[in-house]
Every structure is written in structure tokens, then in C-alpha cells.
Amino acid sequence: MLELLSDRLGEIFKRLSGRGRLTEADVNEVAREVRIALLEADVNLAVAKDFVAKVKEKAVGADVLASLTPAQSVIKIVHDELVALMGGAQARLQFSDAPPSVIMLVGLQGSGKTTHAGKLGLRLKEQGRRSMLVAADVYRPAAVAQLQTLGKQLDLPVYAESGNDPVAIATRALAEAKRLGISTVIIDTAGRLQIDEPLMLELERIAAATHPKETLFVADALTGQEATNVAKTFHQRLGITGVILTKMDGDARGGAALSIFAVTGAPIKFVGVGEKLPALEPFHPDRLASRILGMGDVMTLIEKTQSVYTVEQAKNLEQKIRKNDFTLDDFLDQLRQVRKMGSMSELVKMIPGLSKALPKGTEIDEGEIGRVEAIICSMTRYERRRPEILNGSRRLRIARGSGMHVADVNRLVKRFEASRQMMKQIGGKRFKIPTLPGQRAGL
């Protein structure tokens, strides 16, 4: 997502390298190409024009700051404007002073409302807020059953009725949540293939009956600029308070992410980054802007690391490294932890400078971890602890057992030995896993 825009902007800034001062002609040239790049990324035309005008205003005649190149000066200006374009700062969910807080999900059919009701319920559960999921979509076949299945998986209550009045269902669900002392009610409403008046009237009646603290518009990022137009209509009728942008892990051009706040004033609060239930992340405008401009996203990388790697695991790993007792079992465990963090392609983009350092067109082999896992799992426990005993016959047996070639086994053993040698060199040094503000320090 947004890869094309990132590549185009990278080419534009590269051409500015080496210039001592930004002239008005330079800025006009950059502005024109940035505008084209934004339009190619499916950004709303009015939004693109306004964005470029602001960049030009700040960039004309700007002297190169100490130790900065002209390209870096423009990048900073573009970065700041991208952040402002997407809302400025992270927008958090708001909750009522007197529970339960009602969150109403709205949007067109197929945008992912039901799935993201479950994802949002899981996220709130992890934060200590128990939610009730409300099946208010009485039209789509299997919508109620789907929400009940999600509730069972997440151990969250689901309120559903056999009736066909979504307003009455939502009202009674709210009363039941109060009786049970549940803090949050998430209402999964019906959608249509396109906006129609009966749908909007129904949503207005549900909102009037339940007084939602948050009305979140669920938009499919693959619909591009059309998602912005639909969001605008929903905002005019319902006053949406935020947006959940789904399928951000797909190949969308990204126009919705860059346009939706400017058009509606409603910030993107969450993005769906995969099909699994935990694949819902808070939206950080500054982090996405940094990734678009090839600056990486270290904070998200740290968060992903800490979500799969406990302090206790880090302590155990440190002890193994200090004692030079790092085995193939430990090697496999590290690879599995990396896989939990997401695709390698996405992780590479989060490391500042790495994606730019790779040759253009380099593709990350996402199946490599699976092949390494197959090879290690074909070894005996003793072989994993003592890989130096792996002679020719053992390697042939392992290759056959894993469906690989002996050369693949040789390559893995060589890579492991190199890793262990490097760890031996740093074994006497103290290291630590970075932590975010408010979290317990690492080692």
C-alpha cells in the first residue's frame, strides 16, 4: 500500500540532491511532480491541489539548514504536511463517562464491519474493557451467525434476536449491557452495495436510540477515492467521529488514507492490516508519513517486537548468548517470533534506510522461514543442540525428511554457525530490548 507514491517521491527528492538552494523554479517542478504522484495514488483532486499549495508556500526560497541538503529540507516540509493531511496526531477512541459506551460501526456492504466489530472487541478486551457485540444487521445472510462465531472465539457476549427491527435490537442490547455491567457496546449495522435513503434513515434511528459515543465509518482501502466520497455522505448524515480503514495490507494505491480526513474531518482511528482478529492497529499519521518517505517506522517495529517477545524470553536469550549456548532450537524460536510480527516485506520497510539500500526490484522471500523450519524440525533433538555432528549422511536424511536439497541444509547450518559466531563476539557485552514510554524497561 502506497508503494508507488513512496517510489515516486523518492525519485523526486533524489534529483534535488546536491543543490545549494531551492529556487522557485525548483519548488514549482517538485510541486508539479508531487501533485502527479498524489493523483496516481488515487488522492482526491482537491486534496492534492491544497497539499501542493501548502508545500510550495513553505518551500519557496527556503535556505538549506545546517548539515541538510535541499532534498532533506523539502522532505521535512512534505513529511510535516503529510502528517497534517492525515490528522496530525493519533486519534484515540472516546468513551462515555457513564458506561456503557456505544460504538456504532457503519459503512457499505463488504467493507468488513462484522469482522472489525470482533477485532475492535478483542483490542478493547486486551485493554481491560469488556464489550458486547450487537448483531443489528438483520438483512445480510449469515451476518448474525458470523458475529456469534466471532464472539465465541473471543469469549465476548453477542446480543442477537430473531426479529427484523435493528433499532429495537440495538435498544434492548443497550439495556442488557447496562444490566450486566458491560462497559462497551459495539453495534454491527447493516450495509448496502451503495448508499440509499432507507439505509441512512435506519442508521439515523439507531443513533437516535443509542446515542453512540463513537460512530466509526468502516472503509475498504481497495476502493480508493470512492471510499472518501462515501465517507463524506455518511458524515453529512450521521456525523461520523472516526474511520477504520480495512485491507491496508493489500495493494491499494492509498488515496483513501491520504484524503479521508481532509474531506470529512473525521480522523482514521484504526487500520486493518490482515485477516486475523489481532490484525487491527491504531493509526499513526506521523509513522505512515515516515514510511511513505522511506524514513522507516521504528516505533511500530518496537511495538511489534514487544507484542511477541516478553522480558522473560529476552532474559533467557541473553543468558544463552553469554554462555555461548545458542542452539538451532533457539534459532528456530527466533524465526517463529519474527513471523508473528508480520510479513518480512513490511518489517523491512520499518527499518530506516534498509528498503532504500536493497537493490531496486528486490523481492523478500516470505517462504524462507517455513523452509528453515522444515529443515530444523527434521533434525533430532541432539542434532539441534550439536549441529557440529551433522555429517554427510545425517544431512542427506534431513534433506529428504524436509523435502529440501542437501545444499539447503548446508546453507542453513552455515548461516546458523555465522550467527552463533557473531553472538559469541557480543556475548560479553550487555544489550537491551527497547521499550516504549510507560512500559517496563528491558534488559
pLDDT digits (tens, 9 = 90+) for 29-72: 888 888 888 888 778 888 889 988 888 887 776 554 443 566 67
Pairing of strands 268-272, 280-282: antiparallel
Given a cut of 60, whether residue 357 has pLDDT beyond it is no
Q: How far is CA 71 from CA 60, 68, 297, 359, 430, in A?
A: 13, 8, 20, 21, 38
Rounded Cα–Cα distance for residues 394 and 346 (Å): 36
Highest mean pLDDT pick, 297-301, 303-307, 332-336, 374-378: 374-378
Given a cut of 90, whether residue 223 has pLDDT beyond it is no
Q: Which of 188, 232, 184, 229 is nearest to 206 (CA)?
A: 188
Q: Which of 159, 154, 150, 155 is nearest to 132 (CA)?
A: 159
Beta bridge partners of 242: 216
Query: Tens digit of pLDDT for each residue in 88-97?
Result: 888 899 999 8
Cβ pair 191, 200 in contact under 8 A: no
* pLDDT band per the 50, 70, 90 thresholds, residue 288: confident
Confidence (pLDDT) at 88: 85
Query: Tens digit of pLDDT for each residue in 179-203?
Result: 999 999 999 998 877 778 888 899 9
**Amino acid at the residue 266:** A
DSSP code per residue over 286-333? HHHHHHHTT---HHHHHHHHHHH--HHHHHHHHHHHHTT---HHHHHH
Cβ pair 351, 301 in contact under 8 A: yes
Confidence (pLDDT) at 378: 93
Rounded Cα–Cα distance for residues 291 and 3 (Å): 9
Least confident of 74-78, 179-183, 228-232, 429-433: 429-433
Domains and CATH numbers, the chain: 3-85 (1.20.120.140), 101-294 (3.40.50.300), 299-426 (1.10.260.30)
Cβ pair 22, 73 in contact under 8 A: yes
Task: Order across the sheet with 242-246: list the strands.
Answer: 158-159, 131-135, 184-188, 101-106, 214-220, 242-246, 268-272, 280-282
- Average pLDDT of the residues in 16-29: 71
Cβ pair 81, 54 in contact under 8 A: yes
Percent of the chain with pLDDT over 90: 29
Q: What count of residues does the chain have?
A: 443
* pLDDT band per the 50, 70, 90 thresholds, residue 443: very low
User: Cell digits for 5?
Assistant: 507514491
Mean residue pLDDT across the chain:
79
- Torsion angles phi and psi, residue 271, rounded to 5: -130, 135
Cβ pair 33, 12 in contact under 8 A: yes
Confidence (pLDDT) at 437: 43
230 versus 312: which is more confidently predicted?
Answer: 230
Confidence (pLDDT) at 370: 83
Confidence (pLDDT) at 70: 67
Confidence (pLDDT) at 62: 52
Quote helix, strand, coil % in the chain, to nearest 5.
55, 10, 35
Given a cut of 80, whether residue 204 has pLDDT beyond it is yes
Rounded Cα–Cα distance for residues 417 and 57 (Å): 56
Is the backbone peptide bond immediately before 100 cis, with ω within 30 degrees of 0? Answer: yes
239 versus 435: which is more confidently predicted?
Answer: 239
Confidence (pLDDT) at 206: 94
Q: What is the DSSP-derived secondary structure letter of residue 249? A: T
* pLDDT band per the 50, 70, 90 thresholds, residue 431: very low
Given a cut of 60, whether residue 175 has pLDDT beyond it is yes
> How far is Cα of residue 100 from the mean position of the Cα atoms in its chain?
28
Rounded Cα–Cα distance for residues 403 and 399 (Å): 6
* pLDDT band per the 50, 70, 90 thresholds, residue 99: confident
* pLDDT band per the 50, 70, 90 thresholds, residue 177: very high
Confidence (pLDDT) at 316: 72
Query: Tens digit of pLDDT for each residue in 325-347?
Result: 778 888 887 777 777 766 666 66
Q: Is 432 left (phi over 0), alpha (psi -120 to 50) or beta?
A: beta
Confidence (pLDDT) at 222: 75
Confidence (pLDDT) at 44: 81
SS3 2: coil
Confidence (pLDDT) at 80: 86
Write the burial class of residue 6 (CB in 10 Å: 0-12 exposed, 13-18 middle, 19+ buried). buried
Given a cut of 50, whether residue 436 has pLDDT beyond it is no
Q: What is the DSSP-derived secondary structure letter of residue 135? A: E
Confidence (pLDDT) at 304: 57
Helix (H) or strand (E) holding 217: strand 214-220
DSSP code per residue over 404-417? --HHHHHHHHHHHH
Confidence (pLDDT) at 360: 56
Given a cut of 50, whether residue 432 has pLDDT beyond it is no
* pLDDT band per the 50, 70, 90 thresholds, residue 233: confident
Given a cut of 90, whether residue 117 has pLDDT beyond it is yes
User: Cell digits for 106?
Assistant: 457503519
Question: What is the widest separation between alpha-carbon atoms in the chain?
Answer: 74
Confidence (pLDDT) at 68: 56
User: Cell digits for 240?
Assistant: 461520523
Percent of the chain with pLDDT over 70: 76
